[in-house]
Structure formats: C-alpha cells, structure tokens
C-alpha cells in the first residue's frame, strides 16, 4: 500500500525520494553504489548511469517507434481503404467492432455532457483492461504520436543546448495536477471538451487520418517552445493524458505484484 501511495504522490507532483540501498536490486546496487567492491567515484557513477541509460534506450527505442508508427498508420490505412479494421482516431475508435475510448477523452465527454453513454462505458472498460495488462504509461511511449515528435524535438533541444542556443526552464511537477483539475472544471462549466481542442495527441492523430488542419500550428508552437525553452514541457508539466494513464500504470504494477507475491 505504501508503494501505491508513493507512486501516486509522485505522479501528482511529489519529488521522488532517493531509494535506500537495501531497496535496490543487486544490479542497481552495483551501478549506483559499488564497482568491484569499491565505492564508485562521482565520475564513475555518471559513466555507469550514462552507459546503462544509453544501452536501455537504444534497445527499446526502435521497437517503440516501429510500434507507434504502425498503430497510427493502421488508422490511416483503415480509413483510406475503408476496410473498417480500426475506425476513428486515438480519442475514440472501434477495432474490429469493439468500441475503444481514450480514458481521458471519455472523462472529458462525461463531464461536459453530464451523461454516460453505454458505448462510451464499453470503450472505457475495454481500454482500461488493455492498459492494465500492458501497463498504463505504455500508451505514452508506444502509441501517442506527440510523444514521438517530442522525442525528436528533445534530440534537437539537447544539440542546441550544448551549443548554448537553447534553455531548459523547469517547473514543479505538481503544475500538471492543477492543470488536470482546470480542464475537468472547464468541461463541467462550459459543456465542451476544452482539452480536446488543444491536445496535440488528438490533433496529430486526426491530422494523420483525415488530413492536416490549422490546429497543427498549435502543435508546432508547442514543439518550438520545447526545443528552445523547456525540454519535453507538455508531457512533463501539462498533459492530463499522462496522469490518467499514469494512474492505470500504478494499478497495473500493483496487480502484477499481487499475482507474483
């Protein structure tokens, strides 16, 4: 239970605490504390961390990118060829007849219209079960189209930052929780799914399937801000989708722990 509460607290903005030595796996202990029985120097620690991060990142990055592109192209192919395999967009779709609804989008719709539709419930339950099995935050890195372009923008940001051409202003992670509540209240008060109008995930998904619109200008401005002023700002400090699937991710890890205890 403590692990669940700690994970949720971090998701909503608490600074992660440093783990105690006895909480780490032997591999992690070797990386962060010891090397051949000796305490590592600061530079060795940095080198070990960079090596581990680079190997892990390279191992999965191509797999993630291929999966992400394939999922989003499947929407386009289904629409273009009218084969009714994967209809709709990431916000709401049908896969071979099964209703699927993005959890955050469904919440926005229910709050805005003050009603619950049976197809929406079916779609939410289907997606919830799927991401419980796969891991909630998997959506962000393996499916979300904005995550992909933000990764590319991050690479450019790092290149520019090394040359003094970009800044990296940071904000408290709790800002995202405040924004999450604001979008929920806006949906209730206005009767519109306000977040969906500015969500780069939805904008890119619909642009890929149905064609570009002026909304892509907003996405471009976001990327420019991230490239020059704040690295991965949308995902880190704004996106309510990340919080929604983050909660599912916490529940997913908890269910795995219960199965294997």
- For residue 248, the model assigns a pLDDT of 84
Instruction: Name 36's Cβ contacts closer than 8 Å, sequence gap at least 6.
Output: none
- For residue 201, the model assigns a pLDDT of 95
Per-residue pLDDT band for 8 (boundaries 50, 70, 90) equals low
Please provide residue 101's backbone torsions phi and psi, each rounded to the nearest 5 degrees. Answer: -135, 130
First to last CA, the chain: 14
- For residue 247, the model assigns a pLDDT of 84
Over residues 233-253, the mean pLDDT reads 86
Per-residue pLDDT band for 260 (boundaries 50, 70, 90) equals very low
Measure the CA–CA gap between 11 and 8, rounded to whole angstroms.
Answer: 5
Please provide residue 95's backbone torsions phi and psi, each rounded to the nearest 5 degrees. Answer: -110, 110
Q: Which residues of 152-176 are buried (b: 16+ CB within 10 A; e: fewer)?
A: ebbeebeeeeeeeebeeeeeebeeb
Over residues 181-209, the mean pLDDT reads 94
Say if residue 194's pLDDT is above 50: yes
Say if residue 119's pLDDT is above 50: yes
- For residue 257, the model assigns a pLDDT of 44
Measure the CA–CA gap between 53 and 79, rounded to whole angstroms.
Answer: 38
- For residue 10, the model assigns a pLDDT of 63
Say if residue 153's pLDDT is above 80: yes
- For residue 17, the model assigns a pLDDT of 60
Per-residue pLDDT band for 255 (boundaries 50, 70, 90) equals very low
pLDDT in tens, 18-70: 555 455 455 555 555 554 455 555 555 555 555 555 555 667 888 899 999 99
Say if residue 109's pLDDT is above 50: yes
**What count of other Cβ atoms lies within 10 Å of the Cβ of residue 20?**
7
Which of 118, 123, 79 has its CA nearest to residue 105? 123
Residue ranges covered by each domain of the chain: 2-260
- For residue 79, the model assigns a pLDDT of 92
**Region class of 48: left (phi > 0), else alpha (psi between -120 and 50), else beta:** alpha
**Most confident stretch, 4-18, 137-151, 214-228, 247-261:** 214-228
Say if residue 217's pLDDT is above 80: yes
pTM: 0.78
Say if residue 94's pLDDT is above 90: no
Say if residue 72's pLDDT is above 80: yes
């Amino acid at each position: 239970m403590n692990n669940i509460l700690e994970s949720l607290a971090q998701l909503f903005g608490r600074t992660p605490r440093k783990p105690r030595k006895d909480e780490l796996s032997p591999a992690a202990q070797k990386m962060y504390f010891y090397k051949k029985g000796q305490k590592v120097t600061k530079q060795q620690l940095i080198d070990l961390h960079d090596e581990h991060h680079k190997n892990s990142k390279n191992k999965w990055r191509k797999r993630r990118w291929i999966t992400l592109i394939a999922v989003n192209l499947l929407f386009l192919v289904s629409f273009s060829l009218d084969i009714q395999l994967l209809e709709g967009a990431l916000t709401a779709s049908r896969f071979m007849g099964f209703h699927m609804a993005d959890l955050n989008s469904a919440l926005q719709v229910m709050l805005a219209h003050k009603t619950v539709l049976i197809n929406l419930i079916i779609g939410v339950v289907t997606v919830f079960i799927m991401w419980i099995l796969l891991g909630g935050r998997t959506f962000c890195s393996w499916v979300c189209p904005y995550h992909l372009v933000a990764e590319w923008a991050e690479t450019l940001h790092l290149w520019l930052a090394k040359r003094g051409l970009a800044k990296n202003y940071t904000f408290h992670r709790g800002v995202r929780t405040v924004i999450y509540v604001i979008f929920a209240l806006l949906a209730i008060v206005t009767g519109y799914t306000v977040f969906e109008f500015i969500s780069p995930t939805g904008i890119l998904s619909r642009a890929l399937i149905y064609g570009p619109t002026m909304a892509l200008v907003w996405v471009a401005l976001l990327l420019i801000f991230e490239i020059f002023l704040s690295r991965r700002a949308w995902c880190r400090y704004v996106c309510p989708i990340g919080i929604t699937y983050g909660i599912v991710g916490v529940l997913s890890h908890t269910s795995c722990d219960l199965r294997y205890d």
